């Protein structure tokens, strides 16, 4: 048996400020050009969850040049209905199920402007998932950037890169609606997972980078993920509860619709999308009623403002310099909570 030394989450570290010649947040660019098929945008991604990876979310985030990984339950017609610019800033999602795969195959038979496909499973270490990634790369060659995951170790990243993944999602259990760590005892502290995987990824020829998936609670966590080496950062809970989010349900007690957020391995997700939970598996997610947060544009501006500000603290004019310049300190307390979060 091997026991690794203590690893870290975002709340365990802070970015150390240093001398900076970047005098204004307006001098910072958050754009990146990345991928086998070059894509230019702000590399912050709406998670491929039914409550965040929605068509409405994609249309809203396109205005800010963010990427949306659409949830896998949309039809071919749904995906084809998106405007060209929205397709450019969106990624269809497929899983191990035949239905989502067939939907994607049909979309790819026609002209489209999608630059990404998200191949998603909770456990990215299984052989059948690696085979799926390999088959998609073989089928489409250089026509699409593949985002695949999830894993939390450099070995997991390398294994998916070998099969043709351009980006690998890193994160098992850090999400606010995920209970995998509680139900299975499996996972890895997110900051350390991102840092270790990103460092190893620098040695993989032609690999585009990792996607830090899950664990971000505040804009500062997004900045820490980029500083740790993530090429993209995927958000779920931070984008829940908005006008463009899914999961709105009528609450008879309140007499109005309220926003919910649920994990895609939750009891609610399995019964809602598949009509039942198989007896051989447990739920590894939960459903939460969240606050109403209005238009997502306001949250987008807060997040980008926080990341830009982080860049000015370390003399970074872009995300690459944020990673190159950043130094971290381990902390016992991240901020003062006397008046709440």
Q: Give the residue from 20, 3, 117, 66 showing the smallest Cα distance to 317.
A: 20
Distance from C-alpha of 64 to C-alpha of 269, rounded to nearest angstrom: 29
Catalytic residue among 180, 260, 299, 312: 180
Told to judge if 69 belongs to the known catalytic residues of this protein, a careful annotator would answer no
Catalytic residue among 54, 62, 68, 178: 178
Told to judge if 197 belongs to the known catalytic residues of this protein, a careful annotator would answer no
> Residue 167, Cα to own-chain centre: how many angstroms?
11
Cβ contact 240:52 at 8 Å: yes
The beta-strand segments (E) located in 122-231 are 145-151, 167-170, 209-213
Cβ contact 230:190 at 8 Å: no
> What are the strands of the beta sheet with 256-262, ordered from one edge?
248-251, 256-262, 287-289
Distance from C-alpha of 45 to C-alpha of 239, rounded to nearest angstrom: 10
Neighbours of 188 (CB within 10 A): 23
Distance from C-alpha of 335 to C-alpha of 84, rounded to nearest angstrom: 43
- Beta-bridge partners for 232: 211
Residues with catalytic roles: 178, 180
């Amino acid at each position: 048996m091997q026991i690794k030394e203590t690893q870290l989450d975002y709340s365990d570290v802070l970015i150390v400020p240093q001398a900076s010649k970047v005098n204004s947040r307006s001098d910072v660019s958050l754009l990146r050009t990345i991928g086998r098929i070059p894509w230019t945008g702000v590399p912050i991604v709406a998670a491929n969850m039914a409550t965040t990876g929605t068509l409405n979310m994609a249309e809203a985030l396109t205005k800010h040049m963010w990427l949306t990984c659409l949830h896998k339950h949309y039809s071919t017609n749904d995906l084809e209905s998106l405007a060209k610019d929205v397709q450019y800033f969106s990624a269809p999602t497929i899983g191990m199920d035949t239905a989502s795969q067939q939907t994607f195959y049909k979309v790819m038979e026609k002209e489209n402007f999608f630059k990404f496909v998200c191949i998603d499973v909770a456990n990215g270490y299984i052989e059948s998932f690696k085979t799926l990634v390999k088959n998609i790369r073989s089928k489409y060659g250089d026509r699409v950037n593949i985002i695949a995951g999830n894993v939390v170790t450099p070995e997991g990243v390398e294994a998916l890169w070998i099969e043709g993944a351009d980006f690998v999602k890193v994160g098992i259990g850090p999400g606010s609606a995920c209970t995998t760590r509680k139900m299975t005892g499996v996972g890895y502290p997110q900051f350390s997972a991102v840092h270790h995987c990103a460092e190893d990824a620098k040695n993989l020829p032609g690999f585009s980078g990792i996607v830090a998936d899950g664990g971000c609670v505040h804009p500062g966590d997004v900045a820490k993920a980029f500083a740790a080496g993530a090429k993209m950062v995927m958000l779920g809970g931070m984008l829940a509860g908005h006008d463009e989010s899914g999961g709105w349900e009528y609450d008879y007690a309140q007499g109005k619709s309220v926003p919910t957020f649920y994990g895609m391995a939750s009891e609610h997700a399995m019964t809602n999308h598949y009509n039942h939970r198989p007896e051989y598996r447990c739920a590894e997610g939960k459903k939460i009623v969240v606050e109403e947060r209005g238009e997502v544009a306001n949250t987008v501006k807060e997040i980008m403002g926080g990341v830009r500000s982080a860049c000015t603290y370390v003399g970074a004019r872009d995300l690459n310099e944020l990673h190159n310049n950043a130094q971290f300190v381990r902390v016992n307390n991240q901020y003062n909570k006397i008046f709440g979060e």
